[in-house]
């Protein structure tokens, strides 16, 4: 029998809002020698489309997941030296570009969240619908696992993680149950955690909002991988790396990510002049021009074909001014 992990990447992964991403990046990638950075390579669907659509473009692609780099590398092999794949977290973008001798680039894409590969591989522990070890690390060679967090964090710190990163109203109830459980034996599996959460929540909390474990799993994943801290560093660095006329496109999958993206792009699209100035000098003019009106969402047809696209929110901007 063929499992989901045996299928080729192009079958296992449907890139979210693919045509819209290509359309928004396109005007910046038509110039000869243009470089585009895919900061979240995953299984390479967006990268493949960009390399195919723009035959002269050069791709630099980052991912911390070495399994993803290997599979995407096979998928992009036919593009030869037009594609440079780098094992790195996306807040390392400035160092990667410096090492490659690329001070500025024409386009940057972020497709945030968990890749299809990570969700589909049960042993990674990202999906609450399957029983698996509580790992959730995007880079399985380093850092604390979700089990480490659950079994070693002080109760107050666990409550903070669930409230801040999962927006979980019942964080204290869940943590109290975790503490009772780990006093008897460590939490080790996702099914064990899902059952614990279901038992800890009041009936009203189980009737709305989908799987009651969803928010806790999101919070643990963000904590384990430092996702928001990494994104907070990476977005301003990406804006700095854009050439004049360069474009950035960001796909977010939950409100915490989207709020951060909105804040960075809106700040870049606002002038920085003191309020008392009657005319805004050039050095205070906005660095960015927003390309989307708010956050764009996938079409109903795309969500029907790919349910993982449903929470996606897309924002984009163009670099319109060099720094003074």
Say how far apart CA 247 and CA 143 lie, in whole Å. 33
3-state secondary structure 186-207: CCCEHHHHHHHHHHHCCHHHHC
Any known ligand binding at 107?
no
Residue 249: closest CA among 43, 83, 42, 23: 23
For residues 21 and 314, the answer to whether their CB atoms sit within 8 Å is yes
Any known ligand binding at 45?
yes
Any known ligand binding at 13?
no
CB < 8 Å & 24+ apart, contacts of 299-302? 302/16, 302/17
Any known ligand binding at 203?
no
Q: Which two tokens stand for residue 195?
A: 């059952």
Say how far apart CA 48 and CA 231 lie, in whole Å. 24
Say how far apart CA 264 and CA 271 lie, in whole Å. 13
319 three-class SS: strand
Query: Cβ contacts of residue 33 below 8 Å, gap of 6+?
Result: 56, 58
Computed on alpha carbons and rounded to an integer, the radius of gyration of the chain in Å comes to 21
Any known ligand binding at 210?
no
For residues 170 and 153, the answer to whether their CB atoms sit within 8 Å is no
Sign of torsion over alpha carbons 255, 293, 235, 73: positive
Chain centroid offset of residue 21 CA: 15
Any known ligand binding at 118?
yes
Any known ligand binding at 56?
no
Q: Which residue ranges make up the annotated binding site?
A: 44-46, 63, 90, 111, 118
Q: Which residue ranges make up the annotated binding site for S-adenosyl-L-methionine?
A: 44-46, 63, 90, 111, 118
């Amino acid at each position: 029998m063929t499992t989901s992990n045996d299928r080729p990447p192009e079958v296992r992964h449907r890139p979210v809002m693919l045509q819209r991403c290509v359309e928004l990046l396109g005007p910046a990638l038509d110039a000869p020698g243009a470089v585009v950075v895919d900061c979240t390579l995953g299984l390479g669907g967006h990268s493949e489309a960009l390399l195919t659509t723009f035959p002269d473009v050069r791709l630099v692609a980052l991912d911390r997941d070495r399994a993803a780099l290997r599979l995407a590398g096979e998928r992009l092999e036919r593009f030869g030296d037009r594609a440079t794949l780098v094992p790195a977290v996306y807040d390392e973008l400035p160092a990667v570009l410096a090492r490659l001798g690329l001070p500025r680039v024409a386009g940057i894409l972020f497709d945030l969240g968990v890749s299809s590969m990570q969700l589909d591989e049960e042993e990674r522990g990202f999906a609450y619908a399957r029983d698996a070890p509580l790992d959730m690390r995007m880079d399985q060679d380093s850092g604390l696992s979700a089990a480490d967090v659950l079994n070693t964090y002080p109760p107050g710190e666990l409550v903070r993680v669930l409230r801040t990163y999962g927006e979980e109203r019942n964080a204290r109830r869940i943590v109290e149950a975790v503490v009772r459980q780990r006093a008897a034996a460590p939490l080790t599996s996702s099914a064990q955690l899902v059952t614990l959460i279901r038992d800890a929540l009041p009936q009203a909390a189980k009737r709305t909002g989908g799987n009651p474990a969803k928010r806790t799993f999101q919070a643990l994943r963000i904590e384990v991988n430092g996702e928001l801290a990494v994104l907070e560093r990476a977005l301003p660095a990406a804006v700095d790396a854009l050439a004049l006329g360069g474009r950035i496109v960001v796909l977010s999958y939950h409100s915490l990510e989207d709020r951060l993206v909105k804040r960075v792009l809106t700040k870049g699209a606002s002038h920085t002049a003191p309020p008392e100035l009657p005319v805004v000098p050039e050095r205070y003019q906005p660095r960015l021009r927003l390309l989307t009106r708010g956050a764009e969402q996938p079409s109903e047809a795309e969500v029907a074909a790919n349910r993982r696209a449903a929470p996606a929110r897309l924002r984009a901007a163009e670099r319109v001014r060099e720094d003074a």
